[in-house]
Structure 1
Amino acid sequence: MGRFDGRTVFVTGATSGMGASHVRGFHAEGARVVVAARDLAAGSAFASDLGDRAVAVRLDVTDEQEWASAVRLAEDRFGPVSVLVNNAGAQHAPALLEDTSREVWDRVLAVNLTGQFLGIKHVAPSLRRAGGGSIVTIASTMANVGSPYYAPYVASKWALRGLTKTAALELGRDGIRVNSVHPGVVRTPLITSPVEDGQPAIGDLYSPAPFAVPRLGEPAEVTALVLHLASAESAFATGSEFVLDGGLLLGPALAA
């Protein structure tokens, strides 16, 4: 028996990095998984590999009509959604705030903030039809501090904290819990590959040596926390922030 037998789980940004890890984790626990991604071909191939308990949907999280269509398809195939993992996110090349273009600012906030708002807006009615459930928003350690060269990303993740807490207050009496996960530097393409040609990868700018746990995180470690927050094991947690960063925000640890 899996923790999510018979339940429908909707994951955005689902074909790579943490998103793909979350899909596999929920599927392994018995869920029917909706693989939501901009690249429908990649999503379809992933869902096909998983089998009958997975379906792919085309979703640009900034497009409200695509959200409405994706939720309808999910319900038509598997019934009401019990879990939403708002995982899709966008990063940008490092730049001083005064050198950041309006286009970059708008794109990052559209994906990281508006996309999460639209997800909650359109999936909440399905969660009610399921009798309640859980929403997990994927934030960042950058939602807790300032970070030079990353103003759009930092602003989007700080705002996501407020959105998450407000949604938790509005949806709690419907049996819907809303929590945020704040990963640190996790080994995904977003961290290990350059955002733009000629730019350093984000992981190249951070050494884990000072962390209390002196290494990068792994996607499966984030997935384990997401599964916990989506399950009945965390039934008393809502509007809460869960940091998973190996001690990055704590400051430098004692040398070994």
Structure 2
Amino acid sequence: MGRFDGAAVLITGATGGLGQGAAKGFAAEGAKLILSDIDRAALERFAATLGTETATLAGNIADEDLSEALVKLAVDRFGRLDIAVNNAGIAQSFVRLPQVPSDEARRILEIDLLGVFYAMKHQLPQMERQFKARGKGGTVVNIASVAGLVGAPKLSVYAAAKHGVVGLTKSAAAEYATKGVRVNAICPAHTRTKMVDDFVKISGAPQDLALSELTRGVPMKRVGEVPEIVEAMLFAADPKNTFMTGHTLAVDGGVGAI
């Protein structure tokens, strides 16, 4: 019997490295899934591999209508929304602040910050309604970043967006603490996903050298692995983890220790 048997779990950015890992992790623990990403074909291909009841809806998380439609899909298909993992996001060019193109900065903020705002704007009221009706609300897990806790040279706009996600998380947690909804954020350091692979390619350096540069400030001297971050998501969403809200859980190889 899994931790999430029968739970309806919404995951955005579901075809990325962390999104796929989260979907597989929750599915293995008995969850039913509502998955979203921008590439419809990739989303449907991935959903077909999961072996659990799954609903999909493709779209751009920067469009508020998508967040509203995803909550409606969860309720129409499964009767409720138990857990939301707001994972969709993009990275920025690895350059100093004045070199970030303004249109790129705007896109990062729209997806990484406003996307989470739109998601919670529609998820939280639904979870509160469930709590009022049946005494069981829900849990929101926002995927922020260690860049949302400290400065991130050459990732300034991304860091600003992730600091914003942390602020939204803490504020929503306080607002909904007595309304049956827990809200927490996972703050990973660089993790072995497409974002890290792209950095290695753009750097033009051999992989070992590029990763060494990327993890220079990480005491463990390595990037995180997807299963390590997923384990933190499952912990934050665990129905037995009932007294943790407003928390920023750093999974960062020790960055926060120095």
Task: Please say whether Structure 1 and Structure 2 have the same fold, judged by a TM-score greater than 0.5.
Answer: yes
- How many angstroms apart in 2 are the aligned matches of 1:149 and 1:212? 20
Q: Name the counterpart of 1:50.
A: 50
- How many angstroms apart in 2 are the aligned matches of 1:12 and 1:35? 6
- How many angstroms apart in 2 are the aligned matches of 1:95 and 1:211? 20
Conservation of the 8 A alpha-carbon contact between 2:12 and 2:19: yes
- Greater Cα offset, 110-119 or 67-76: 67-76
Q: Name the counterpart of 1:192.
A: 197
What letter is aligned with 2:80? P
What letter is aligned with 2:240? E
State the shift of 1:59 in Å: 2.8
Conservation of the 8 A alpha-carbon contact between 1:183 and 1:244: yes
- How many angstroms apart in 1 are the aligned matches of 2:163 and 2:106? 15
Equivalent residues in 2 for 1:74-153, closer than 5 Å: 74-130=74-130, 131-153=136-158
Q: Name the counterpart of 1:29.
A: 29
TM-score normalized by structure 2?
A: 0.90
State the shift of 1:62 in Å: 0.7
Deviations 1:227-253, CA, capped at 9 Å, x for gaps: 1111123211000111111112323xx
Counterpart selection for 1:229 from 227, 233, 236: 236
Taking only aligned residues, the RMSD between alpha carbons, in angstroms, comes to 2.0
What letter is aligned with 1:4? F
Structure 1: which 4+ aligned runs deviate by more than 2 Å? 128-131, 194-205, 210-215, 248-251
**Structure 2 counterpart SS, 1:90:** coil
Tell me, which stretches of 5 or more residues in structure 1 are unaligned? 252-256
- How many angstroms apart in 2 are the aligned matches of 1:144 and 1:68? 29
Distance 1:199 1:168, change over 3 A: farther
State the shift of 1:23 in Å: 0.5
- Greater Cα offset, 110-119 or 143-152: 143-152
Counterpart selection for 1:220 from 203, 227, 234: 227
Q: Name the counterpart of 1:254.
A: none
Distance 1:245 1:165, change over 3 A: same
TM-score normalized by structure 1?
A: 0.91
What letter is aligned with 1:14? A
State the shift of 1:198 in Å: 7.0
State the shift of 1:147 in Å: 2.0
Conservation of the 8 A alpha-carbon contact between 1:132 and 1:176: yes
**Structure 2 counterpart SS, 1:115:** helix
The alignment-based identity, stated in percent, is 36
Aligned pairs, number: 250
What letter is aligned with 1:225? A
- How many angstroms apart in 2 are the aligned matches of 1:147 and 1:35? 30
